[in-house]
């Protein structure tokens, strides 16, 4: 398996532009998570999906952020309009179950480094 695949690896854009980050989870995984990582705040959960349905989006900072999962093999995180404070590394992760008792674990992609100028 190729693991969780994210694109692009790096994105540089200007303030006000729309940014779309993409994620392909591991086949068969039914949970998908979007995280944002900064030095100050560490890894913050933005939203997660179960079977393509958004379950908890309480971490989405504001209406400028939106996420979709149209099918089991693809998800997007969109920022419109982007702002300099959105600059961070965005990670996608997937797992085969959300319940720790089954010894599941998160598999992370390599992340997208976003810079908003």
Partner 1 sequence: EDQVTQSPEALRLQEGESSSLNCSYTVSGLRGLFWYRQDPGKGPEFLFTLYSAGEEKEKERLKATLTKKESFLHITAPKPEDSATYLCAVQAMVGTYKYIFGTGTRLKVLA
Nearest distance from residue 30's CB to partner 1, in Å? 11
Nearer to partner 1 (CB atom), residue 19 or residue 49: 49
Nearest distance from residue 52's CB to partner 1, in Å? 15
Q: How many other C-beta atoms are found inside a 10 Å radius of the C-beta of residue 116?
A: 20
Helix (H, G, I), strand (E, B) or coil at 58: coil
Nearest distance from residue 51's CB to partner 1, in Å? 12
Nearer to partner 1 (CB atom), residue 85 or residue 105: 105
Residue ranges that bind partner 1, judged by CB under 8 A: 4, 31, 33, 35, 41-45, 48, 50, 55-56, 59, 91, 93, 98-101, 103, 105-111
Distance CA 38, CA 44 (A): 8
Which H helix or E strand runs over 94? strand 88-95
- Tokens (6 digits) for 45: 């959960």
Nearest distance from residue 41's CB to partner 1, in Å? 7
Cα→Cα distances 44→17, 41, 70, 73, Å: 23, 7, 23, 23
Nearer to partner 1 (CB atom), residue 50 or residue 52: 50
């Amino acid at each position: 398996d190729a693991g969780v695949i994210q694109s692009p690896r790096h994105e540089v854009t200007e303030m006000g532009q729309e940014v779309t980050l993409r994620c392909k989870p591991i086949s068969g995984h039914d949970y998908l998570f979007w995280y944002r990582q900064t030095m100050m705040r560490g890894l913050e959960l933005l939203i997660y999906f179960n079977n393509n349905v958004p379950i908890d989006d309480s971490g989405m900072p504001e209406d400028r952020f939106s996420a979709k999962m149209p099918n089991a093999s693809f998800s997007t995180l969109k920022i419109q309009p982007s702002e300099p404070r959105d600059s961070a590394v965005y990670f996608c992760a997937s797992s085969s179950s959300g319940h720790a008792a089954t010894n599941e674990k998160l598999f992370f992609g390599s992340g997208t480094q976003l810079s908003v100028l």
